[in-house]
Chains A and B, each alone.
Chain A
């Protein structure tokens, strides 16, 4: 309880701020709408309204304020509207037996999830291999580590359209692969750094002990270094999966993809449907939260089974 109460308070403050912002953000749209419906609004020409300040418009047209919370195409929808749109494109479609319809967010979320998991697996594998190479070869460490750091300062999304063109020219079918490459790139680095730290975590006494047992190198890797690195690995996996999701969505955004949450954002933008954008954004947030929570659970189960849990 003591941990939930503050979180709920902050959430309530944020939602309150959001509701308060809706009226000033939407008042101009709502006034245009009201005038078309024949309601008298105070500066009665659109030009005069463009000149007028937001506060003045709100005070002079207090009667229109309720309408700002109920627009079809608001500049800023209310949380309630976003929730309703989310329900309409997920829950309601399930109830109608069309859960995987292409018009629902479940289908698009699934497409995004596939690329994310594929990229996550690829990035994690590369990160772990890189970490092993770095721990066992000083040449690799000195050559690779600076570049791994520099690679993170490069805005990878600049490369996203390029990667898609390249892979289609090389003959890779489907849009899943280029998106997965971008996610793999983003989740590679946290795993590499965390895993390097983890593999180096055993202290000299522990390594010396294994040496007195005359343990071969691969056994000390399997029985000491690898188990010690697991907590570090999970911490970076949680960062990595969130980064992989960001990568997939960014890969879908600028490239004319037709399915996936990023594509829903893009299409919502092109068709002037802000509710679709907001619903897709929240679906992405829910997906990110679910993935990180899932990894957190796996982490606590695995660590408990390994005897490292709390």
Chain B
């Protein structure tokens, strides 16, 4: 009860501050967002409500996250918004890989290529249907990703770890040639340009301060789209993790013979995991294409697949916070690396500076899998559990 009072108090403070500080039209939107956040938070703080409504809890968490980040995106600079969009796309990809590895225990070294499948599918769709809405292009990407995932998932029904990893590696290496084989569709080495850039709708431009350029408004709008898409993906994934499908897949991962005895069809579980995972990667790739307004085959090489694997392991395999941490690391990796380069006084054009990204990610990947296989999210969970145990001991 005390927690609910605190939430209500925060709401009142927020509304008053908003009304005092912001222009009238902006204030209305912000108050609506704050009220939504506070209402969900008031439900969410109650343990009994969370226990009674698991799906509602996940929905509330997702909406609160999207709400807060969406409001924040309107107040931050264009470059921060760019980082936000990159991180959100990568989070979706990582959710997919995390589901594959964390739930069914399979591994993919080809998720960069699956991202590429989605990116090219969205770009091809947009080029052939210039006036169709963004959602349709994203759905086309999801369908294409799922189809390719199904094709590659078929052999996965009979393969175990290293063989499967090698096969997905071969797919990642072959991806450039696959694009070249369909160069009339994919534009070959030069890739594709989207016919029209996504531009912000009228009402959003009106809401933002008039001093902002149309480009800034478009960036904010893209952030909002990315956040909503990521919210849908996140909500679906959190339910999937907890669902019957997710549970049967964890059984497949931990003990395939026991899973078979319990009536789980191993081939089906493995293919389904692959299809879902590839569809998520494709969605992330399509989203990044919309943001960048173009797509190039060079982006989706083997290096990207290793980066995705590294982000998943460092963030935490098989957890949703892990995927979000991975996305955050990805969003700020470039600027962190240039900060380190400047700090160490390296020549930014030199060999070492240009390879620093690979060296750091590689060392972190090896270090994480040897020393902390559950990643940052796993370590955080452990710390939180210890803290809670101590807390309870003292309370008793």
Instruction: Please say whether chains A and B are actual partners in one complex.
Output: no
- Give A residues with C-beta under 8 Å from B: none
